[in-house]
Structures are given as structure tokens and as C-alpha cells.
């Protein structure tokens, strides 16, 4: 396409990583924002993070030390229900046990490297893992919704040309505990009495490239003695890895699937989402259809709208043609520009035209409201901005 930015070179060799992909999250309008330090537990890599274990494992650890096993459930209850971030705060546990726990375990394995707050109240955390690697997660509040957006990998191997997360490729998968901690840490930012109502797996990394750890974390979060979040309120976003979508369907959960389409034709998708060269658009659509048939849940197709690239009338027509016969919904995400990348957000008029063109051809479509735009809310931007900078020195939280 003449005048279109060329695909940028990525350090990742995404073609040799068929199990990597992803999407990104969202941002919001203008206005002042604050940047404040917040909760920051001392990082203790030698200690075992609790959310990497289970109640049963903790119970065994306790009984080996002569304590009744039922204290294990109490510990998890303190974390999930009472927002405890230190063993010292778990006041109904014997003092000796709290000390032993503190000697060998840590409530969180990550530390808060930075906390940004947007003028609309959107919180974005940059979390530092035990090995010093960093990931982002976001809490968005809207009317009675409290949505968290979490990451599944450090970096991303998909190399989508418009995305900050993929610029340096993928470094590693996050563990089950590192994924679950993002939700718990964000929940702990909410005022007392408020709870997370929705969870979207649309942060850094390809969700399905780390499927087992993701499912372990979601099981923990959705369990009645975890955060008790309903499975139907969880959305897993993927760039579209057919085999992994089939595996996800086989888990027989009620999670909502969002496929990051971004282009309605093979040629354009090959340009914007390079993994498509290996997978193919048809295979992605077929996998989404199969997920719908098995789960009964309508699939959402995410479409990042890039000025002059995939927002043209012919793109709208091709998109509608691709999806018209399906029970599908298109979620348009006007692009959040990323420093150093040549892509632009379409004008409001161009966005409106695109949406109306698709809708007029019988496809359900909406535009995602952008939140936290002024706080680097597009995936990978905060991490990039703080690269090489130390964590903020802030006091430990109290519960
Ligand atoms: S490169 Fe970015 S947009 Fe593409 S799959 Fe990865 S995280 Fe998502």
C-alpha cells in the first residue's frame, strides 16, 4: 500500500514462536494526571510467593512444622478477603506461625516499581518480578464496573507492528502467581467494600502462549475462596492461535474469547500481525467459530483502528463480509500512538464512518471507550518509559 508505514524490524523471532501473540488494552481522554508511588513490598526473591502455591501445599508445610493445617485456609482468606499484604497483619494466626511464614514465604513475589493514576481514576501498575523483569497491569473504574487488565508474558513475541509490548520480543512467560498477583494488587487499590467486577487478559504478551499458567491463575481468582469472580466476567484476548483456542475451549470454562483481528484480509493482516503469515486468517476464524460452537459464547473481534491503514471504506466492507454470517461482535479500538512508531489514531469522523459502514452491513460493532491515555495505558508504554530506572523507594503498605 503506497504511503503506508513499512513493517518495523522486531528483535523477536516471532515466526519461531508459534505460541506467542496477544492484544493490548486501552486508554482514555485528556486531562491532568498524577503519578504517585504506592504499595511496595520489599522484594524477597529467596522466599516463596504464596500465590505460587495452593492451600494444600501450605497445609502440608504447616503440619510439618506442628501447626494445624486449617491455618492455611486462613492465610489465603487474609489475602483474598482482607487484603493482607504481610503475615504480621494476620492477627488470628499464632505469632510463632506468622514469624515462620515470614521467614520462608512472601505474600507477593512482585513489587510495585511504579504506580500511575490518570485523571479519570485509571490506575496503572508497573510490577517488578523477582528476577527484575517488569510487567504492566491496569485498573479501570466506570460506573459500577471495576475492570482489571492483566499481562501474561514479559514482552511479547508476536511483533504486531503498532504495539510497544512487542518491540523487544518476548522474554518469558509469567508464572501463575505473577498473573494472579496483578489482580490481587489492583483489587487492593479499590476502596474497602468495592470488588473487581471484570477481568480482561489483554495486557502484555500473548495470553494463549502461556495458557496453563493463565488457567491456573484464573482458577485461583475465580474460586469462591479466591476473589470469587464469575467466569463469564473474564475475557481472554488472543491474536488467534488455533490450536491454543481449541485447548482453551477444552477447559470448558465460561470465559469470553476476544480475537485480535486488526485486519480483514490476509495481505493486510500479514502486514500488521506478522504471526498471521504462519497461521492464516481462515484458520483463525475457524478456530473462533469452533470456540463459539463449544462454549455458546459470542466471540468478540478486536480491531485496532490505524489511520489510513485499516480504516478505509474497503476495509470496512471486507470486515463486514468476513463476519456478517457469524454471531460475532467487533470491538473497535482507536489507536493510541506509541513514541517511535509511525502509526496514527484516526480522526473521530473517520472512526464514526468506519463503524457506520460496518454496522450498515449487518455486523454488531462498538467503539471501546479509551481510558488512561495520558498515563501510557497502551500496552508496554509504561514499561518502556521506566526501562533501566530503579523502583521508587516508598514505604511498605499497611493493610
Ligand atoms: S505484539 Fe502487542 S498487540 Fe501484538 S500480540 Fe503482542 S501484546 Fe498484543
Strands (E), 250-389: 256-260, 299-305, 328-334, 364-367
> What gap in Å lies between CA 198 and CA 229, rounded to an integer?
8
- For residue 175, the CA-to-ligand 1 centroid distance in Å is 19
For ligand 1, residues with CB inside 6 Å are 21-24, 156, 158-160, 163, 165-166, 204-206, 239, 379
pLDDT at 64 over 90: yes
> What gap in Å lies between CA 199 and CA 234, rounded to an integer?
5
Determine the pLDDT at residue 46. 83
Determine the pLDDT at residue 58. 97
Task: Give the strand pairing for 256-260 and 153-155.
Answer: unpaired
> What gap in Å lies between CA 324 and CA 8, rounded to an integer?
32
Stretch 214-242: mean pLDDT, rounded?
97
Domains of the chain with CATH codes: 14-38+110-385 (3.20.20.70), 48-106 (1.10.150.530)
- For residue 262, the CA-to-ligand 1 centroid distance in Å is 11
**Shortest CA distance to 130 belongs to which of 383, 385, 376, 391?**
391
User: In the chain, what are the helix, strand and coil shares in percent, each to the nearest 5?
Assistant: 35, 20, 45
Stretch 304-328: mean pLDDT, rounded?
97
For residue 32, what pLDDT band results from cuts at 50, 70 and 90? very low
> What gap in Å lies between CA 203 and CA 26, rounded to an integer?
9
- For residue 172, the CA-to-ligand 1 centroid distance in Å is 14
Determine the pLDDT at residue 280. 97
Cβ atoms 14, 159 nearer than 8 A: yes
- Any catalytic annotation for residue 136? yes
Cell numbers found for residue 282 = 481462515
- Any catalytic annotation for residue 129? no
Stretch 336-348: mean pLDDT, rounded?
94
Stretch 240-258: mean pLDDT, rounded?
96
Closest residue by CA, ligand 1 atom 8: 23
Please identify, by atom number, the ligand 1 atom nearest to the C-alpha of residue 204.
7
Cβ atoms 222, 234 nearer than 8 A: yes
- pLDDT 10s digits, 167-209: 889 999 999 999 999 999 999 999 999 999 999 999 999 999 9
> What gap in Å lies between CA 186 and CA 85, rounded to an integer?
12
**Shortest CA distance to 207 belongs to which of 139, 157, 168?**
157
Amino acid at each position: 500500500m503506497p504511503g503506508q508505514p513499512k513493517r518495523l524490524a522486531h528483535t523477536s523471532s516471532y515466526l519461531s514462536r508459534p505460541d506467542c501473540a496477544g492484544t493490548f488494552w486501552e486508554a482514555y481522554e485528556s486531562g491532568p494526571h498524577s503519578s504517585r508511588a504506592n504499595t511496595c513490598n520489599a522484594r524477597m526473591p529467596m522466599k516463596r510467593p504464596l500465590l505460587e502455591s495452593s492451600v494444600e501445599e501450605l497445609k502440608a508445610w504447616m503440619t510439618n512444622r506442628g501447626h494445624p493445617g486449617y491455618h492455611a485456609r486462613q492465610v489465603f482468606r487474609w489475602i483474598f478477603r482482607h487484603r493482607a499484604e504481610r503475615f504480621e497483619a494476620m492477627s488470628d494466626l499464632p505469632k510463632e506461625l506468622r514469624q515462620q511464614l515470614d521467614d520462608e514465604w512472601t505474600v507477593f513475589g512482585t513489587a510495585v516499581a511504579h504506580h500511575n493514576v490518570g485523571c479519570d481514576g485509571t490506575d496503572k501498575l508497573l510490577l517488578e518480578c523477582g528476577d527484575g523483569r517488569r510487567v504492566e497491569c491496569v485498573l479501570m473504574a466506570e460506573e459500577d464496573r471495576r475492570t482489571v487488565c492483566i499481562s501474561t508474558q514479559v514482552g511479547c513475541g508476536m511483533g504486531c507492528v503498532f504495539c510497544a509490548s512487542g518491540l523487544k520480543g518476548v522474554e518469558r512467560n509469567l508464572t501463575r502467581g505473577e498473573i494472579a498477583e496483578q489482580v490481587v494488587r489492583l483489587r487492593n487499590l479499590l476502596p474497602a467494600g468495592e470488588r473487581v467486577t471484570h477481568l480482561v487478559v489483554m495486557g502484555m504478551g500473548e495470553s494463549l502462549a502461556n495458557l496453563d499458567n493463565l488457567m491456573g491463575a484464573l482458577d485461583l481468582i475465580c474460586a469462591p475462596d479466591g476473589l470469587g469472580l464469575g467466569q463469564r466476567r473474564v475475557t481472554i484476548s488472543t491474536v488467534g492461535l488455533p490450536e491454543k483456542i481449541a485447548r482453551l475451549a477444552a477447559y470448558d470454562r465460561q470465559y469470553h474469547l476476544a480475537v485480535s483481528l486488526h485486519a480483514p484480509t490476509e495481505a493486510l493482516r500479514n502486514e500488521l500481525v506478522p504471526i498471521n503469515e504462519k497461521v492464516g486468517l481462515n484458520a483463525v476464524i475457524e478456530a473462533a467459530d469452533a470456540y463459539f460452537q463449544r462454549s455458546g459464547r459470542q466471540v468478540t473481534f478486536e480491531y485496532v483502528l490505524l489511520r489510513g491503514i485499516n480504516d478505509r471504506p474497503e476495509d470496512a466492507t471486507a470486515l463486514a463480509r468476513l463476519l456478517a454470517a457469524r454471531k460475532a461482535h467487533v470491538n473497535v479500538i482507536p489507536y493510541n500512538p506509541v513514541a517511535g512508531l509511525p502509526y496514527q489514531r484516526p480522526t473521530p469522523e473517520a472512526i464514526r464512518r468506519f463503524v457506520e459502514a460496518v454496522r450498515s452491513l449487518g455486523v454488531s460493532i462498538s467503539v471501546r471507550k479509551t481510558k488512561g491515555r495520558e498515563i501510557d495505558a497502551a500496552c508496554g508504554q509504561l514499561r518502556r518509559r521506566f526501562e533501566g530506572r530503579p523502583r521508587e523507594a516508598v514505604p511498605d503498605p499497611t493493610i
